Chain A
Amino acid sequence: MSRIGVFVCHCGTNIAGTVDVEAVADAARQMPNVAYAGTNKYMCSAQGQDYIVDIIKEHNLDRVVIASCSPRMHERLFRKVLAEKTDLNPYLLEVANIREQCSWVHKDKQIGTPKAINLVAMAVAKADCDTQLFTHEIPVTKRALIIGGGIAGIQAALDIADAGFPVTIVERKTTIGGKMPMLDKTFPTLDCSACISTPKMSECEAHPLIEIKTLSEVEKVEGYIGNFDVTIREKAKYIDYDKCTGCGMCETKCPQKKIPSEFNQGMSTRTAVYKPFPQAVPSKPTIDADHCRMLTEGKCGVCAKVCPTGAIDYQDVDRVTTERYGAIVLATGYELIDWTRLYGEYGGGRYADVISGLQFERLVNASGPTEGHILRPSDGTEPKTMVIVKCVGSRDPHKGVPYCSRACCMYGAKHAHQFMDKVPGGKCFVFYMDVRTPGKNYDEFYMNTLHEGARYIRGRISKITRRSDGKLVCLGEDTLSGNVVEVDADMVVLETAMVPPEGAKKLAQTVNTQLGPEGFFTEAHPKLRPVETNTGGLYLAGTAQGPKDIPDTVAQAGAAAAKVIGLLCKQSIESNPMVAHVDDSKCSGCGACVDICPYSAVTLVEKTLRENSRKVTRTVAQVNEGLCQGCGACTVACRPGASDLLGFNDEGIMREVEAYATR
């Protein structure tokens, strides 16, 4: 016989407004094993907590049911109260959610009260078969891994390293920085993007606690929070960075000069041995194996001849290393949607003067291919009329993605401003669906662009054709006046959708976490745990989690760093005891659990067991408690019923169902 105490919370009028809490307590007193039932205005308050503690002692209770808000809200708090202020094991607690799942969804007490009573009855039934659970200590490796070296990854790395923990940045391109150094100026303050991002890049390079691995990708992640064993492949750079001084001789002499520059978005060229831009970090070149004559045709070798330090090594190979990290931050950023595949009506990429927003950034940038003069890619003349099309691919479920990319309304306004600023007398037409400018000083920035003379037309461009005189004829509708509009433009800028980077899906599998339907990494809770994932020790920063601008990216990176620092500060962490447990005697070793576990927490092992007083060696499933997140998938898949979830065992759940069914 257990002695259960039932505590029903009013939550002010949140619960008491639509649930007769006293009636619930009265009903609870009649339930089997209930030794006490009472109510309190705010159970989570200090005074409410004391009330629970006092009653437990006074009535010698051994199980607790709290009928209040969702366990996601305060279960941890109540467990802490039990652990710190009573002798009860904190897992002898059940929370009946009579707020989110009851009082908030019903309008009157007629329905709310009986439902709350049912929910309490179920919790009481389950509490009776709750058992004590114990956590154990997991050691923490005091190093962090950051995947993706955009501004998100850089900020997180600096914050963590400044707190005194070693950090490794794994970046798959030849330099860290991501998109930010490619941008010209940033809204709404119009400060130079490279001037505020490249110092951070070199700070990373110089930081004694930060190691940067470029041209690298994560291949395998094993282990769990506090102890991830990560295998990283660092691709061959063909240059020995220990010898290279970054003098750049090789770049000046490389005969392969016609390779489209990724950094300038294909609007200029680079060599085969190259640094994408002068402030790149690491500040040393790499050889692009696909274009190097020596590596493709076996002829040339010019760079090796001119290199004063003998750093060039055509025999260089990939390096694969495995190291242990305590925490991982995913900061893999975004890519822009390939509009050329999707929008034949905009010429599908065949018109040189229909460019993407990122290309425009390079065109207005002083270190870009035109040294900051806005010139048409087709003929190098200055466009007098420019059309900006927003939401290209965004908010277009038919062709692109259904969501809003969040930054383009603002950088669209920025592009309009920059064009009018640099081209005196220039006309700029912005075609939009909505103008979304929430943010500090954002709407003021947009209004300013309007006052400068940008013509905003509400409607989409339906077609762009090129006339023989080079004009781009843009057809669209002004949906406010209902008129068809036709603009003869010299250049068109498409503000295209942010989409997840290539390989995000594979990375999600490698690190064992989930992607949302749009392909960005999913946070553990959209409001309360925005930088955590459902996998312990794995955090999110920047656009890897969804489209956002730089201020939000940096804020999120700082938040992720704080979480990582919080974790790495600890000598050890407590494990979650609510994990799957396999009853060896029932396990048939079929491996169904191994296949279904989303966290690869189950493995098959050989075990010597005692069966019918004989020793037998059999294959059985074993759960790694560090990896198991307690999702329960295996308990459902297990045919002989050997796998059970501690804290949510089959018996408890059956008792709940019974309690409900027999009322």
Chain B
Amino acid sequence: MRYANFPGCSASTTGKAYTESFSYVARHAGIEIDEVPDWNCCGASAGRLQSDDLGDALPARSLANAEAAFGDEPVLALCAGCYSNLRRALVHARESEDRRRQIEALIGQPYEAKADVVCGIDPFLEPEVAQTVKARVTQPLNGLKVACYYGCALVRPRALTTFDDEEDPQSMEAVVKLTGAEPVEWGSKTECCGASHHVSNPTAMKPLVERILADAIDAGAEAIATACPLCNMNLDMREAEINKARAARGEAPLDIPVYFFAQLLASAMGASDAEAGITRNFVPGSSLLAEAKTREVVVELTPEQKKAARIAAAKKQAAARKAAQAAAAAAPAQGKEEAHE
């Protein structure tokens, strides 16, 4: 699979670890990546507030560049914010021919809205890619309990993203499972992390982050996986601060490392911590993964498998009995012959 990558502003800043780990996995899983030529800001927070036209034009210009260079090759946006903005422009252009023409006029170049826009999880939902990844997992994260966190922009609003269920998405779980880790069921996977208030109103944001961390731990998770630089930063970076406040209140710390899902894939596929960008994490994440890799694998059999195993054992036993009987039957005969001699 080939993708036209839209890096956005986070790729080399807050999301550097995402870029590094994703590239590692892509290289080893046969995902080929082109960079969208002359891309520009997706308009994230300010574009659409300014005007609807600017909100569509900014992402559409990059999409048009991608289309000119790579035709209908899907555009990959690792950042959920970029993803959401690019998809909005795409959906608007596809929704009405009028709007598409307006957008073309705004950006002064042709844009046919042919290419799809996908997020970082999408490539791994392709069966061949998933298979390759699975085959390349050399250091499985045996039974590591992971809470997959989607945040808001990846799954909402449904009309824009068309990606998984907005209330109970399951696709990141499917991808994380490839590493041998065990995703946990939990309720806060699409709850707001307050990222937009990160700078302007941290007091409003902190309880939101605290709730997500607490929920994950309560559900039995040892780690959180994300697919968005902003979510990741917010959860990972604020954890220490939150724990300090908790300590002051006499509450136990919420100790849980936060990874990009691609970091888990990369690490399981044999990347060093530096290659997977894990050394960049605020909450140290190396030792947990190293420990998980040494765990013993317990395979839970399904009832059907158990039954099959029982039947196989019974058959084996019966065969052994038969063999013994046959041997016993043969023995006296032999004895007779012997007696004859």
Residues of A within 8 A of B (CB): 343-345, 347-348, 350, 463-468, 473
Residue B188 interfacial (CB < 8 Å): yes
Determine how close the nearest CB of chain A comes to the CB of B278; give it in whole angstroms.
28
Chain A residue with minimal CB distance to B164? A344
* In the complex, chain B residues 149-187 whose Cβ is within 8 Å of any chain A Cβ: 165-169, 185-187
Determine how close the nearest CB of chain A comes to the CB of B5; give it in whole angstroms.
30
**CB pair A344 B165 closer than 8 Å:** yes
A–B Cβ pairs within 8 angstroms, 27 of them: A343-B167, A344-B165, A344-B166, A344-B167, A344-B168, A344-B169, A345-B168, A347-B168, A347-B187, A348-B165, A348-B167, A348-B168, A350-B185, A463-B167, A463-B187, A463-B191, A464-B187, A465-B186, A465-B187, A465-B188, A465-B215, A466-B187, A467-B218, A468-B218, A468-B219, A468-B220, A473-B187
Most chain A CB neighbours (cut-off 10 Å) among B169, B187, B188, B191: B187
Contact with A along B185-199 (1 / 0, CB 8 A): 111100100000000
Most chain B CB neighbours (cut-off 10 Å) among A343, A345, A350: A345
Chain B residue with minimal CB distance to A348? B168
Determine how close the nearest CB of chain B comes to the CB of A372; give it in whole angstroms.
31
* In the complex, chain B residues 12-47 whose Cβ is within 8 Å of any chain A Cβ: none
Chain A residue with minimal CB distance to B167? A344
Chain B residue with minimal CB distance to A465? B187
| Residues of A with C-beta under 8 A to B169 | 344
| Residues of B with C-beta under 8 A to A466 | 187
Most chain A CB neighbours (cut-off 10 Å) among B167, B219, B220: B167
Q: Besides A344-B165, A344-B167, A468-B219, 20 other CB < 8 A contacts?
A: A343-B167, A344-B166, A344-B169, A345-B167, A347-B168, A347-B187, A348-B165, A348-B167, A348-B168, A350-B185, A463-B167, A463-B187, A463-B191, A464-B187, A465-B186, A465-B187, A465-B188, A465-B215, A466-B187, A468-B220
* In the complex, chain B residues 217-262 whose Cβ is within 8 Å of any chain A Cβ: 218-220
Determine how close the nearest CB of chain A comes to the CB of B308; give it in whole angstroms.
15
Give chain B's interface secondary structure class: loop
| Residues of B with C-beta under 8 A to A465 | 186-188, 215
| Residues of B with C-beta under 8 A to A463 | 167, 187, 191
| Residues of B with C-beta under 8 A to A468 | 218-220
A347 CA to B166 CA in the complex, in Å? 12
Chain B residue with minimal CB distance to A468? B218
| Residues of B with C-beta under 8 A to A464 | 187
Q: Which 10 A-B pairs have the closest CB atoms?
A: A465-B187, A344-B168, A344-B167, A345-B167, A468-B218, A344-B165, A348-B168, A467-B218, A350-B185, A466-B187
Determine how close the nearest CB of chain A comes to the CB of B242; give it in whole angstroms.
19
| Residues of A with C-beta under 8 A to B218 | 467-468
Determine how close the nearest CB of chain A comes to the CB of B269; give it in whole angstroms.
30
Determine how close the nearest CB of chain B comes to the CB of A576; give it in whole angstroms.
47
A330 CA to B12 CA in the complex, in Å? 66
Determine how close the nearest CB of chain B comes to the CB of A343; give it in whole angstroms.
7
Determine how close the nearest CB of chain A comes to the CB of B174; give it in whole angstroms.
15
Chain B residue with minimal CB distance to A341? B165
Determine how close the nearest CB of chain A comes to the CB of B324; give it in whole angstroms.
27
Most chain B CB neighbours (cut-off 10 Å) among A343, A465, A467, A473: A465
| Residues of B with C-beta under 8 A to A473 | 187
| Residues of B with C-beta under 8 A to A343 | 167
Most chain B CB neighbours (cut-off 10 Å) among A344, A347, A463, A464: A344
Contact with A along B70-114 (1 / 0, CB 8 A): 000000000000000000000000000000000000000000000
| Residues of B with C-beta under 8 A to A350 | 185
Chain A residue with minimal CB distance to B166? A344
| Residues of A with C-beta under 8 A to B186 | 465
A499 CA to B186 CA in the complex, in Å? 30
Determine how close the nearest CB of chain B comes to the CB of A304; give it in whole angstroms.
25
A295 CA to B185 CA in the complex, in Å? 38
| Residues of A with C-beta under 8 A to B215 | 465
Determine how close the nearest CB of chain B comes to the CB of A350; give it in whole angstroms.
6
Determine how close the nearest CB of chain B comes to the CB of A301; give it in whole angstroms.
20
Chain A residue with minimal CB distance to B186? A465
| Residues of A with C-beta under 8 A to B166 | 344
Chain A residue with minimal CB distance to B218? A468
Determine how close the nearest CB of chain B comes to the CB of A344; give it in whole angstroms.
3
Chain A residue with minimal CB distance to B185? A350
A344 CA to B218 CA in the complex, in Å? 20
A620 CA to B191 CA in the complex, in Å? 67
Determine how close the nearest CB of chain A comes to the CB of B159; give it in whole angstroms.
10
A348 CA to B167 CA in the complex, in Å? 9
A463 CA to B187 CA in the complex, in Å? 8
| Residues of B with C-beta under 8 A to A347 | 168, 187
A347 CA to B220 CA in the complex, in Å? 17
A343 CA to B215 CA in the complex, in Å? 20
A350 CA to B188 CA in the complex, in Å? 14
A467 CA to B188 CA in the complex, in Å? 11
Determine how close the nearest CB of chain B comes to the CB of A400; give it in whole angstroms.
13
Determine how close the nearest CB of chain B comes to the CB of A341; give it in whole angstroms.
9
Determine how close the nearest CB of chain A comes to the CB of B135; give it in whole angstroms.
31
A348 CA to B187 CA in the complex, in Å? 11
Determine how close the nearest CB of chain B comes to the CB of A433; give it in whole angstroms.
19
A463 CA to B219 CA in the complex, in Å? 16
A82 CA to B113 CA in the complex, in Å? 68
A463 CA to B211 CA in the complex, in Å? 14
| Residues of A with C-beta under 8 A to B185 | 350
A348 CA to B218 CA in the complex, in Å? 20
Determine how close the nearest CB of chain A comes to the CB of B231; give it in whole angstroms.
18
A466 CA to B186 CA in the complex, in Å? 7
A184 CA to B134 CA in the complex, in Å? 52
A350 CA to B168 CA in the complex, in Å? 10
Determine how close the nearest CB of chain A comes to the CB of B210; give it in whole angstroms.
14
Determine how close the nearest CB of chain A comes to the CB of B29; give it in whole angstroms.
29
Chain A residue with minimal CB distance to B191? A463
Chain A residue with minimal CB distance to B165? A344
| Residues of B with C-beta under 8 A to A345 | 167-168
Determine how close the nearest CB of chain A comes to the CB of B301; give it in whole angstroms.
18
Chain B residue with minimal CB distance to A345? B167
